[in-house]
């Protein structure tokens, strides 16, 4: 559950080295450099960043600090120009694009900032969509009974009416769409949940209820949570808060070294 910008230079003392080894991190980033093609004004550098199994980590920072880019790297949506991004022991850059998509569907629950719901599908079908690409995740959601699990999550998010579940996603309010996106990320107990500003469209009471559900479902699955927010006051509810400047270096005007 620690963050450092470099590996320890000295060997561990014998007394420490003799202790049982800690569990492998759920997420490990080392020596990463990334720049968006054609955008010389932005480059991201992450020397060392870890998230422990079961840890709830809040990542904060101003707009433009690279928070969403870092999440994209953790999800395998993009791959680094240099360095390694490992999730559950798998080097994402070593996988093909299709294999990364399958890995993400099976092991990660992602709440995108723009939701990425399919507007022509029903609310229920949107929640069930990740299970179509990951048989093992469907099995964790109950197999043939996965729809019941999806409805349970929707109900806990305040979308329990059957009529809502049958509605097209495009007909929902922004706040409702955000909660549907959360249910989609949580269904099937993924090992790592990544959330990009998931409470931004929620009022304070709904925000707290959402976090209660998010933490309960993450704990139920034994999952790690990495959440981005501008609201530093949320940090008291997390195991650890990391300011983006502590996790990464964003270099304006030139490529990362």
Are the CB atoms for 225 and 195 separated by under 8 Å?
yes
Residues 137-187 pLDDT 10s = 999 999 999 999 999 999 988 887 667 888 899 899 888 888 899 999 999
In the numeric block, the tokens 């299970």 are attached to: 131
**What whole-number distance in Å separates Cα of residue 221 and Cα of residue 86?**
20
Enumerate domains of the chain plus CATH numbers. 53-77+96-243 (3.40.50.300)
Lowest mean pLDDT among 59-68, 69-78, 223-232: 59-68
pTM: 0.84
Residues 204-251 pLDDT 10s = 887 888 889 899 989 988 999 999 988 888 899 999 999 987 776 665
């Amino acid at each position: 559950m620690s963050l450092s910008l470099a590996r320890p230079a000295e060997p561990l003392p014998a007394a420490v080295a003799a202790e049982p080894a800690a569990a492998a991190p759920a997420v490990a980033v080392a020596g990463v450099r990334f720049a968006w093609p054609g955008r010389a004004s932005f480059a991201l550098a992450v020397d060392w960043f870890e998230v422990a199994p079961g840890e709830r980590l809040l990542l904060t920072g101003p707009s433009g600090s690279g928070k969403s880019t870092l999440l994209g790297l953790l999800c395998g949506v993009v791959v680094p120009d240099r360095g390694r991004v490992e999730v559950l022991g798998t080097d994402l850059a070593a996988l093909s694009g299709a294999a990364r998509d399958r890995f993400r569907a099976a092991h990660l629950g992602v709440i995108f900032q723009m939701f990425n719901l399919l507007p022509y599908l029903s609310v229920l079908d949107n929640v069930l969509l990740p299970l179509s690409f990951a048989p093992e995740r469907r099995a964790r959601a109950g197999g043939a009974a996965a729809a019941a699990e999806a409805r349970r999550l929707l109900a806990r998010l305040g979308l329990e009416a059957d009529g809502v579940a049958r509605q097209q996603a495009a007909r929902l309010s922004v706040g409702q769409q955000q909660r549907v996106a959360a249910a989609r990320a949580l269904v099937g107990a993924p090992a790592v949940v990544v959330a990009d500003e998931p409470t931004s469209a929620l009022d304070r009471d709904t925000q707290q209820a959402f976090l209660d559900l998010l933490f309960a479902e993450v704990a139920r699955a034994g999952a790690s949570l990495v959440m981005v927010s501008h609201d530093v006051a949320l940090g008291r509810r997390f195991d650890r808060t990391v300011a983006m400047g502590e996790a990464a270096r964003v270099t304006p005007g030139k490529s990362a070294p």
